Structure 1
Amino acid sequence: MTALRMAAASAAFGRDLEADFAAAGRLIEEAREQGVGLLALPEACLGGYLLSLDDDGELDAGPPALAADGPEIRRLAALAGSMTVVAGYCEAGADGRRYNSVVCVTGDGVLGNHRKVHQPLSEDASYASGDRFHAFDTPIGRIGMMICYDKAFPESARALALDGAEIGVVVSAWPGARTAPAADLANDRWKRRFDLFDRARALENQIVWLSANQAGTFGSLRFVGSAKVVDPGGEILAGTGVGPGLAVAELDVARALETARRSMGHLRDRRPETYTYAGAASA
């Protein structure tokens, strides 16, 4: 069995694509110097996120919409080289709609793509919604991806785990609380929720979990950082705190999953025939 060194980034990104590529390149090189094989960059790291999540908040034209097979994603793949890199961007769909998406690349090209399914607050005014979760194979193992609010729904991560994902990767632009924010982000209630979701999704599915997030401020949003690597028991192996940085940890993924599932296997012990409720057929 072989150990994998993996990293999740907490970093700031904005509208300037050249600046974003420079920041992504620095993070990729920093990770490469530490022997990282899998790196997660935040949601919307190519072009920035929205300026506000309020209907009457600050607005602009939004991030540039990029084709999943376009030159910008090929540029990201070239930066990745032998590393597997996951990064968020605004996708220009063939249907003419814009999607909040995340792509997985190596130097050989695109390995997987996910469109954000769950949209908080007024995000649906800027993006269309994705419609599925799926895992896929990569040089470092089978992974599944989700974006930010997706992780608030247990079904998202469970769908990936049931599709064989060994590593869940969630990229976020998760801000602090919109009302009564804490002066210290470390004590912010939305930051606590961010961390709880990460640990719960890893533990309930007994998978390795990488969580990347934006840091700093953008428009009216103040992001909580808190990138981390979580083991299948829900324990945080490495974290950045609320500031920028890389959370780096090394783990033998296959052995960690085997150990976590040896006695109590949460996927094995499921009883799906009992998971019904009144009105389920019409829900």
Structure 2
Amino acid sequence: MTSTTTMAAVGGSFGRDVEDNLARVGTLIHDARARGVSLLALPEACLGGYLSVLGSGRDGTHDERPDDLPPVMDLDGPELRRVAALAREMTVVVGFCEGGGSDDERFNSAAAVTGDGVLGVYRKVHQPLGESLYYNAGQEFRAFDSPIGRMGMLICYDKAFPEAARALALDDAEVVACVSAWPASRTASATSLAEDRWTHRFNIFDQARALENQIVWLAANQTGTFGSLRFVGNAKVVGPGGDIVATTGVDEGMAVASFDLGEALDTARRSMFHLRDRRPELYDGAQANRWETSHA
């Protein structure tokens, strides 16, 4: 007997207006529920907006400053409680700015929420182009159990690092939701978002991370513009064979796909199981240590 799970990733525009964002989240959850979705991934910073500018000069200094910063939210605060009330039986992944243990700590975070509350939280580890000026970095990759199975979360630039997704897969994640505010290139950018080189990279990373770990990969992303940034969209669901099963392209929308999760993973891993066939005794970090020493 098969058991089908429907999953969805959203491409959409979310700014600073928290009330408007929560209203949009409610509409998206309502629409997803009508389509039988059990796991819904919303973009990075969907509850309070991202940084309005992001970039660095050739010397590594930040060349622009945001007009304002995303509002800080707590895991037990009213915003996530409202998402939980909307989610009910559904698992919903949202991005937000999380407050830390002190007044000056801020984390770019994602939370997986159901009607029972927060199931898991992830703090973005890899920080691009001056993001570290505004956020503290997370320190761990950890999968967790959810109603749809064991899953993990990543945020945006994390997808460029194979080790991040691999760490979740080795912690038995069957599904990874990677939520993003991934912009188009700010140098040599293309007129068409579909042809932009950063759009191309975004899509390659999604397919590679799914294929190399033989997992289901949800990629949510911001769309439209925010400050000087133009986001590439391309929310998608990627199967464990690296195939794009559903995508929004550069437009707003919801990419929806259904899987018998156990069967999909078993089929992908039947003849060549990448996690099983690893040679961890050869991955001792020696090469990485040599690289860091030579580039110090």
Q: TM-score range by the shorter chain?
A: over 0.9
Shift >6 Å, 4+ stretches = none
SS of match in other structure, 1:193:
helix
Aligned counterpart, 1:231: 239
Partner residue of 2:163 out of 155, 174, 189: 155
Residue 210 in 1 paired to residue 211 in 2? Answer: no
Cα–Cα, structure 1 residues 279 and 61, in superposed 2: closer, same or farther, change >3 Å? closer
Distance of 2:287 and 2:179 partners within structure 1: 34
Deviates more, 1:211-220 or 1:87-96: 87-96
Partner residue of 1:167 out of 175, 191, 205: 175
Aligned counterpart, 1:9: 10
Letter in 2 for 1:49: Y
The structural deviation recorded for 1:94 is: 1.9
Partner residue of 2:138 out of 125, 130, 133: 130
Letter in 2 for 1:21: L
Cα–Cα, structure 1 residues 38 and 278, in superposed 2: closer, same or farther, change >3 Å? closer
Partner residue of 2:82 out of 75, 86, 89: 75
The structural deviation recorded for 1:273 is: 1.0
Distance of 2:53 and 2:142 partners within structure 1: 29
Aligned counterpart, 1:49: 50
1:1-283 mapped onto 2 (5 Å cutoff): 1-54=2-55, 55-96=62-103, 97-276=105-284, 277-278=286-287, 280=289, 283=292
Distance of 2:100 and 2:207 partners within structure 1: 32
SS of match in other structure, 1:171:
strand
Letter in 1 for 2:19: E
SS of match in other structure, 1:256:
helix
Letter in 2 for 1:275: Y
The structural deviation recorded for 1:68 is: 1.0
SS of match in other structure, 2:72:
coil
Q: Please give the root-mean-square deviation of Cα atoms over the aligned residues, in Å.
A: 1.2
Q: Is the 8 A contact 1:86 1:105 kept in 2?
A: yes
The structural deviation recorded for 1:61 is: 2.6
Letter in 2 for 1:42: P
Q: Is the 8 A contact 1:58 1:220 kept in 2?
A: no
Distance of 1:6 and 1:130 partners within structure 2: 26
Distance of 1:256 and 1:278 partners within structure 2: 34
Distance of 2:291 and 2:149 partners within structure 1: 37
Distance of 1:40 and 1:68 partners within structure 2: 17
Distance of 1:278 and 1:181 partners within structure 2: 34
Describe the superposition over 1:144-188 as per-residue Cα deviations: whole angstroms up to 9, x where unpaired.
000000010000000000000000110000000010111000000
SS of match in other structure, 1:197:
helix
The two structures have a TM-score, normalised by structure 1, of: 0.98
Letter in 1 for 2:289: A
Describe the superposition over 1:212-252 as per-residue Cα deviations: whole angstroms up to 9, x where unpaired.
00000000000000000000000000000001000000111
Letter in 1 for 2:227: G
Letter in 2 for 1:151: K
The structural deviation recorded for 1:35 is: 0.6
Gapped regions of structure 2 (runs ≥ 5): 56-61
